[in-house]
Amino acid sequence: MSQHDYNIANGGGAAVRADINQALGAIQTTNSGSTAPTATQAKMPWFDTAADAIKFRNSQNTAWESAVHAMVGAGGMSFRNRIINGGMDVWQRGTSFTLSSGVTAYTADRFYVNTTGGAGTVSRVAGTGGFRFAMRITGASGVTGSFFGHKIESVNMSDLAGGNVTGQIRLAASANRTITWYARYPTADDNYAGVTAITSGTINVTTTPTTFTFSFAVPGAANTGLEIYFDIGALGAGATVDVTGYQLEAGTVATPFERRPYGTELALCQRYYTGGVSPNSIVGVYAGGFAAGASFKLPVTMRTNPTITPSSLSPTVIAISSAAATYVTPDFFGFAWSSSSSLGTLGILQFNYTASAEL
């Protein structure tokens, strides 16, 4: 372990040779030492023996940054963020919601919200700090409690079990408040009917949008999934909390927020929820009425067999006596209709649908 100023001084042959050997030793050991080298250059490496970590001098030669930061800045380490839609870009269900008191509902994709004692609202608003959007939770008269959260599927979590994770989240409020976060895991794979608490912490949120970080150790048994929820507390009429920039990753260092292409983020969200309009379906006509069926390919493979909900049947003049998804897989679903009335001719039947496989 050695360091050097990399300035070979004039001197006698033996002294110059010793100076060169010391400089080469510093190179061989990556300028290792428990304190930073005093002579620095941009992008210079240093192995910090106290932290047991490699670091690099930044491009401005003003500070040291971890190797992780350096790799991320170069576009490396993709898909390290285990939070889906942490930048609040995807809103398949809509961009504004009125909550039912005490009922937990998904709003922005992958994020659930609850207000108790009153009907709070959720809306998409402009983000800050380089984020296009944020999720705004607005209180209402009588709201005595409120929270939001996100669940991570076991297949995206199992490799983190037994290690450390670090989260970051960008928050602002209409008035200063303390928000408490809780981490827990399901006792069976992706089944949150029973949960085990891991840890908790507090965040002092102000009116200024700020990115906060937190870290904790994940138990080895938490390969079944992970849920982190944020308890806002009472949220009166007009009071707001804005949320964006949420990331959770392996390790004890918060790296720059991972920005994935919108199409990628949408596909990740559609594993849990999607909606759309069915393709045109030819309807066969029978003497006493008609019946029809068709199969539809889902945009992506969903987490499990989804719950299919149809709506907005067209044309509305058809008196449908039954309509149901008859065969459902994570990749496609079959649908059948029947009616006691007759169209009198071949027709086209369309409908909207949602498919949900949320945790």
Q: Is residue 102 part of a domain?
A: yes
92 DSSP 8-state letter: T
Question: Residue 49 — very low, low, confident or very high, per pLDDT cuts 50/70/90?
Answer: confident
- Between 162 and 275, whose confidence is greater? 162
Provide the pLDDT confidence category of residue 164 given band limits of 50, 70 and 90. very high
Mean per-residue pLDDT for 62-78? 61
Model confidence over 121-139: pLDDT tens digits? 999 999 999 999 999 999 9
Q: What is the pLDDT of residues 136-162, one digit of tens each?
A: 999 999 999 999 999 999 999 989 999
Contacts (Cβ under 8 Å, ≥6 apart) of 52: none
Domain match, 110 and 68 both: no
> pLDDT (tens digit, 9 = 90+) per residue, 297-319?
899 999 999 998 877 666 554 55
DSSP helix/strand/coil, 303: coil
Is residue 252 domain-shared with residue 106, that is, in the same domain? Answer: yes
Closest-CA residue to 297 (of 249, 262, 330): 330
| CATH code assigned at 304 | 2.60.40
- C-alpha distance from residue 341 to each of 23, 285, 318 (Å): 92, 10, 7
Q: Confirm if 309 and 351 have CB atoms less than 8 A apart.
A: no
Residues 67 and 156 in one domain: no
How many Å apart are CA 164 and CA 230, to the nearest integer? 19
Percent of the chain with pLDDT over 90: 60
Contacts of 232 (CB under 8 A, 6+ apart): 137, 145, 146, 147, 148, 177, 179, 241
The verdict on 333 and 240 lying in the same domain is no
Indicate whether 105 and 62 sit together in one domain: no
pLDDT at 54: 86
117: left (phi over 0), alpha (psi -120 to 50) or beta: left
Contact in structure between 279 and 332 (CB atoms under 8 Å) = no
Phi and psi of 340, rounded to 5°? -85, -10
Residue 159 lies in a domain: yes
- The first and second tokens of residue 196, run together, are 């085990």
Output the pLDDT for position 296: 81
Q: Using the predicted structure, report yes or no on whether residue 358 has a pLDDT greater than 50.
A: yes
Please list the residues that pair with 121 across neighbouring strands: 98, 138
- Tell me: do 204 and 227 sit in the same domain: yes
Residue 60 maps to a domain: yes
The more confidently predicted of residues 51 and 74 is: 51
d(CA 320, CA 310): 12
Range of 321's domain? 273-356
In this structure, what token pair is assigned to residue 339? 């009616």
Residue 178 located in a structural domain: yes
- 108 and 255 part of one domain: yes
Query: Is residue 115 left, alpha or beta, with left meaning phi > 0 and alpha meaning psi from -120 to 50?
Result: beta
Number of domains in the chain: 3
Q: For the segment 9-33, what is each residue's pLDDT rounded down to a tens digit?
A: 898 889 888 888 888 888 888 889 8
Residue-level pLDDT at 283: 42
Q: What is the pLDDT of residues 185-244, one digit of tens each?
A: 999 999 999 999 999 999 999 999 999 999 999 999 999 999 999 999 999 999 999 999
> What gap in Å lies between CA 347 and CA 359, rounded to an integer?
38
What pLDDT does 13 receive?
86
Answer yes or no: is 59 within a domain. Answer: yes
Residue 347 maps to a domain: yes
Identify whether 268 is part of a domain.
Answer: no
Measure the CA–CA gap between 111 and 108, rounded to whole angstroms: 6
Q: What is the pLDDT of residue 280?
A: 45
CATH of the domain at 132: 2.60.120.260
Looking at the domain assignment, is residue 34 inside a domain? yes
Token pair for 251: 């390790």
Residues 56, 31: one domain? Answer: yes
